[in-house]
């Protein structure tokens, strides 16, 4: 059977990335001290030499399906891209793996334990680039609203999205980074809160008012302390309770 | 050229709805006293006799494209489905038209004027059924949090989604229904608020605490007063500022 | 601490559903012969007596968190709603649980095994209502395009969404229902296809052209044969390769 | 009334971007020879000096609301960011404006005219950076499937997403760029096709088979010919009719 993909291409363009995207597979990932089985949404690509017409995408699906079965440490993800460069006979491979994982959290007074869902995306390539995206939710309470109002203060759910480039992921603990970021809002949020916890969270937020700019600056200061990173981007978004649009602040730094 | 759609079908199933969906077209709609040009997302279907294999979908696209050019009153939408029953030679046609429109709103103290986006979906068919879906945003402030906390109270953006079946749409004013619903939250929300407005909105919400159940009941009481309706469904959803999930309440009634 | 939720309400409205929505939790579900851990998106509600102001939503989250830890058969889901009626002291509870699961599939010639992701939503309530929604992908190839063209025929990915109401779920095998539906397209689709499989799938679809109406009718005929069902709804949608909109057909029946 | 935003900040971080996001407003944009009213989704930000605590976001909403009322040429968008730097007394402002617009297209044989919806996002800032994102749909037909199969060939809807950085937008005609890109697929697609057009489109695609890599390379060659550009990124995605995932290729170049 003819291999049309292997036909010669004369357009003179080496393709940086070709492969599969929007692939869903289960993966088992070490998060802190435990393995979590996650629903991963994946993009998996390789480079393609300028004289070849197309890549063999079914091989990429076979590699992903194989790795889907084994528990992986974050640092094992480079094995996936290494496997692709070998099996596809190319000099570059990249993967993006997005998934929700769950963080055990303990209510501040009742100490009820619950599971907070966190969106995460890992990008890695065969050049040893590695970046981690996290979307961490918390409460923000508006300092202006508190100051100018005789009582109350508008507050809302907020999301802080970070993208951090790591130079070494051997000891990367994703859960620790989530905790670092969720501490920068007006209060942390929890799936299960009993009344005594709700009082605690309400009062904590009221005593800790923060603009989206305050949160951004505090997250920037916190991330600068993380070890083994080369660059980061931060976006904070408040789903304003008094508007139908959102407040937003963004910063990026190369270290 | 052979008309494959017109082949005889022997499976004995009259099809209730066949047509096109996820169609985007501009439409001009009378909202209150003014015409708004909207980006409509449409589903447009007809029934199909049991002995015919397929319908002629390009005719449905031609009808939509024709009506896209002319300003329509809400009550004109039945002309679109009537046109389909005639041109497709069938006994039933239905349309769904979803779009955002803008409601002029005036800040409570500064009186600054701004445009609030509202999601709307109209469903109509050739049997004179007509239903209107609206998603109306406002603020909710938690009565429990206010009562048990020494200061402050958690609050958040909320959405009330209603679906109302009308028996007559001749005098239907969509903007009036939005205003009826947005009054049932703890406070209305506005795209533009100066500081004096923010104080007003913050204090109004604090003095008007409502659970998602309170809002649901008040919306139910309000909708029961609308004329020319035969049934309704209400869903209220609070994007809780202290959780990563939402509070929810729902009710449906046939009048 | 005062229980604001337990305050007396005088509006005279018994609420049909109040609770939590957009909750993400891991669940372990028996699918056929194996347990799959899934990422579930949940809505979980109870009714509320007309003289009580609000429900205790944290109890709903506690129930979900408890059940998240244990493997469940489909028929166990009624235990969750039963638990809610007891712990919330009410006469009605309902749950919606949406998740992706994976179906093992075998390529038609190479027999390569891969995992196909299927969207599923289970709705159950304490009145023993149970419905299953599935979104099953396959290929459709247009009979008109094939007939009128000198070569080739346009084809595309299609989704068939079904909602089936069951009277008994003791022996419900979700994977079997997926297989029943995916057989009604022009060809099944697979995550991993080697060249010999691609030839097979291409030729199979070409020899089995189907309009969206053909697929709808064949799915209706197939579903009517399922045991222990009381009603169903079918929606077929073809992501037309020659348009930027979709072809659509829908049918509902009560048995 | 105290101006909390104007309080002194001592964290020493100049904020790159702070403002509003997920704002919906109608805008009137010149596309080619005509004004189209579009539904715009906006992000609008300014920089913030390191010694100031917060920006005045209501002013950003006022600026957007003002510009919403006037027809704009693409090159007028820099007036919006200039207005923000002045009114917010800052040295940098940026805007993102995403919207659907409609391209008139003519069926290849019947010459029926219809409107094709195209997703577009414009990014501009006060440093005269300007980039245009477009998502252009067309058909792709697989060369391998055609070659190895005795009849037929799998094909599907594809999207090509480009991001082009312009050095000068005085004569930028967005519609021309869409047309340039849609010519690189196996066939263009159309909202309205009569039978003679469907035959034409089917046969054209069959005679013009292209891998996602072929399309990427042809789009790269085409974009390199556009005047006044400094860099571009291309992503091609085929919604494979034989899989539940997509084929993907990406390239970026600085000129």
If you average pLDDT over residues B184-197, what whole number do you get?
98
Q: What confidence tens digit (pLDDT) does each residue in D60-77 have?
A: 999 999 999 899 999 999
If you average pLDDT over residues C129-133, what whole number do you get?
98
Task: Assess contact for B126 and B89: CB atoms under 8 A.
Answer: no
Dist CA A181 CA A161 (whole Å): 9
Question: Which chain C residue shows the shortest CA-CA distance from B237?
Answer: C21
pLDDT of residue A147: 97
Kindly report the nearest CA distance between residue B33 and chain C, in angstroms: 32
Q: Do A19 and D61 touch (CB under 8 A)?
A: no
For residue C1, with 0-12 CB atoms within 10 Å meaning exposed, 13-18 middle and 19 or more buried, which class applies? exposed
The C-alpha angle A186, A192, A198, rounded to 5 degrees, equals 50
If you average pLDDT over residues C117-143, what whole number do you get?
98
Q: Is the minimum CB–CB distance between B87 and chain D shorter than 8 Å? A: no
Dist CA C83 CA C59 (whole Å): 10
Contacts of B194 in chain D (CB under 8 A): 58
Dist CA A203 CA A213 (whole Å): 21
pLDDT of residue D1: 84
Query: How far are the Cα atoms of A18, A51, D140, D242 from residue D216, in angstroms, in the given order?
Result: 9, 14, 12, 20
Task: Assess contact for D50 and D109: CB atoms under 8 A.
Answer: no
Question: Which chain D residue shows the shortest CA-CA distance from C119?
Answer: D244
The pair of structure tokens assigned to A169 is 């992921």
Task: Assess contact for B1 and D199: CB atoms under 8 A.
Answer: yes
Does the pLDDT at position D33 exceed 90? no
Contacts of C187 in chain D (CB under 8 A): 242
Contacts of D195 in chain B (CB under 8 A): 1, 3
Question: Which chain A residue shows the shortest CA-CA distance from B114?
Answer: A243
Q: Do B100 and D193 touch (CB under 8 A)?
A: no
Dist CA B142 CA B148 (whole Å): 10
Q: Which of B159, B242, B246 to mutate to test the interface with A (most CBs of A within 10 A)?
A: B242
- Residue C107: φ, ψ to 5°: -60, 145
Q: Do D147 and A4 touch (CB under 8 A)?
A: yes
DSSP assignment of chain C: ---GGGSB--S---EEEEEEEEEEEEEEEEETTEEEEEEEEEEEEEEE-TTB----HHHHHHHHHHHHTSEE-GGGHHHHHHHHHHHTT-S-EEEEEEEEEEEEEE-TTT--EEEEEEEEEEEEETTS-EEEEEEEEEEEE-HHHHHHSSS---EEEEEEEEEEEES--TT--HHHHHHHHHTTSSB---S---HHHHHHHHHHHHTS---HHHHHHHHHHHHTT-SSEEEEEEEEEE--TTSSSEEEEEEEEE-
Q: Do A65 and C115 touch (CB under 8 A)?
A: yes
Whose CA is closest to B192, among B88, B137, B110, B95?
B110
Contacts of C26 in chain A (CB under 8 A): 36-37, 102, 115
Report H helices in chain A. Answer: 57-68, 77-87, 143-148, 174-182, 195-206, 212-223
Q: Do A152 and B203 touch (CB under 8 A)?
A: yes
Dist CA B233 CA C71 (whole Å): 35
Q: Which of B154, B208, B247 to mutate to test the interface with A (most CBs of A within 10 A)?
A: B154
Neighbours of chain A (3+ CB pairs under 8 A): B, C, D
Q: Is the minimum CB–CB distance between D66 and chain A shorter than 8 Å? A: no
In total, the C-beta contacts within 8 angstroms joining chain A to chain B are 138
Q: Confidence band (pLDDT; 50, 70, 90) for B184?
A: very high
pTM comes to 0.97
B157, β-bridge pairs: B139
Q: Is the minimum CB–CB distance between A243 and chain B shorter than 8 Å? A: yes
Q: How far is Cα of residue D62 from the mean position of the Cα atoms in its chain?
A: 25
Window B:184-203, CB contacts with C under 8 Å: none
Q: Confidence band (pLDDT; 50, 70, 90) for B1?
A: confident
Q: How far is Cα of residue C81 from the mean position of the Cα atoms in its chain?
A: 19
Q: Is the minimum CB–CB distance between D128 and chain B shorter than 8 Å? A: no
The C-alpha angle B117, B119, B123, rounded to 5 degrees, equals 145
Q: Confidence band (pLDDT; 50, 70, 90) for D48?
A: very high
Q: What confidence tens digit (pLDDT) does each residue in D152-181 have?
A: 999 999 999 999 999 999 989 999 999 999
pLDDT of residue A105: 95
pLDDT of residue A1: 84
Percent of chain C with pLDDT over 90: 97
Q: Taking phi first (over 0 means left), then psi (-120 to 50 degrees means alpha), and beta for anything else, what does residue D31 get?
A: beta
Kindly report the nearest CA distance between residue B45 and chain C, in angstroms: 8
Task: Assess contact for C104 and C190: CB atoms under 8 A.
Answer: no
ipTM of this predicted structure? 0.96
* β-pairing verdict for B15-31 and B71-72: parallel
If you average pLDDT over residues C164-172, what whole number do you get?
95
Q: Confidence band (pLDDT; 50, 70, 90) for B177?
A: very high
Which residue of B54, B212, B213 is in closest CB contact with C211? B54
Which residue stretches of chain A have pLDDT < 50?
A: none
Q: Is the minimum CB–CB distance between D21 and chain A shorter than 8 Å? A: yes
Report H helices in A4-161. Answer: 57-68, 77-87, 143-148
Question: To the nearest 10°, the Cα dihedral for B59, B62, B64, B67?
Answer: -130
Dist CA A126 CA A79 (whole Å): 9
Which residue of B139, B149, B207 is in closest CB contact with A199? B149
Dist CA B29 CA D239 (whole Å): 34
Does the pLDDT at position B125 exceed 90? yes
pLDDT of residue D164: 98
Q: Do D244 and C145 touch (CB under 8 A)?
A: no
* β-pairing verdict for A229-238 and C15-31: unpaired
What is the residue-averaged pLDDT of chain D?
A: 97
What is the residue-averaged pLDDT of chain C?
A: 97
State the residue for tokens 């006293």. Answer: B33
pLDDT of residue D69: 82
The pair of structure tokens assigned to D1 is 């009334």
What is the Cβ-side half-sphere exposure of residue B34, based on CA atoms within 13 angstroms?
8
Whose CA is closest to B140, among D66, D210, A154?
A154
Dist CA A113 CA C178 (whole Å): 37
If you average pLDDT over residues C19-46, what whole number do you get?
96
Report H helices in A122-211. Answer: 143-148, 174-182, 195-206
Contacts of B216 in chain C (CB under 8 A): 15, 18
3-state secondary structure chain B: CCCHHHCECCCCCCEEEEEEEEEEEEEEEEECCEEEEEEEEEEEEEEECCCECCCCHHHHHHHHHHHHCCEECHHHHHHHHHHHHHHCCCCCEEEEEEEEEEEEEECCCCCCEEEEEEEEEEEEECCCCEEEEEEEEEEEECHHHHHHCCCCCCEEEEEEEEEEEECCCCCCCHHHHHHHHHCCCCECCCCCCCHHHHHHHHHHHHCCCCCHHHHHHHHHHHHCCCCCEEEEEEEEEECCCCCCCEEEEEEEEEC
CA quadruple D169, D172, D174, D180: dihedral sign: negative
Q: Do B155 and A157 touch (CB under 8 A)?
A: no
Which residue of D15, D212, D244 is in closest CB contact with A18? D212
Task: Assess contact for C230 and C212: CB atoms under 8 A.
Answer: no
Using DSSP, state whether A214 is helix, strand or coil: helix
Question: Which chain A residue shows the shortest CA-CA distance from B196?
Answer: A148
Dist CA C109 CA B15 (whole Å): 36
CA quadruple B68, B70, B76, B82: dihedral sign: negative
Q: Confidence band (pLDDT; 50, 70, 90) for C69?
A: confident
């Amino acid at each position: 059977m003819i291999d049309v993909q292997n036909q010669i291409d004369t357009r003179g363009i080496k393709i940086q990335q070709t492969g599969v995207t929007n692939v869903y597979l289960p993966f088992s990932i070490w998060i802190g001290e435990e393995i979590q089985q996650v629903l991963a949404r994946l993009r998996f690509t390789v480079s393609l030499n300028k004289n070849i017409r197309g890549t063999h995408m079914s091989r990429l699906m076979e590699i992903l399906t194989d790795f889907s079965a084994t528990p992986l440490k974050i640092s094992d993800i480079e094995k996936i891209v290494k496997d692709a460069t070998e099996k596809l006979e190319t000099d570059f491979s990249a993967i993006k793996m997005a998934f929700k994982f769950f963080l055990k959290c303990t209510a501040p007074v009742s100490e009820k334990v619950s599971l907070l869902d966190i969106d995460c995306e890992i990008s890695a390539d065969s050049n040893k680039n590695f970046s981690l995206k996290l979307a961490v939710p918390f409460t923000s309470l508006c300092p202006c609203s508190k100051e100018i109002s005789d009582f109350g203060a508008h507050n809302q759910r907020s999301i802080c999205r970070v993208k951090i480039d790591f130079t070494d992921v051997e000891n990367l603990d994703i859960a620790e980074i989530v905790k670092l970021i969720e501490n920068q809002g007006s209060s942390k949020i929890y799936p299960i809160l009993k009344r005594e916890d709700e009082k605690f969270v309400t009062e904590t937020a009221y005593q800790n008012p923060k603009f989206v700019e305050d949160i951004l600056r505090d997250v920037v200061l916190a991330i600068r302390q993380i070890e083994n990173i080369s660059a980061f981007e931060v976006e904070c978004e408040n789903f304003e309770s008094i508007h139908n649009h959102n407040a937003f602040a963004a910063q990026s730094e190369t270290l």
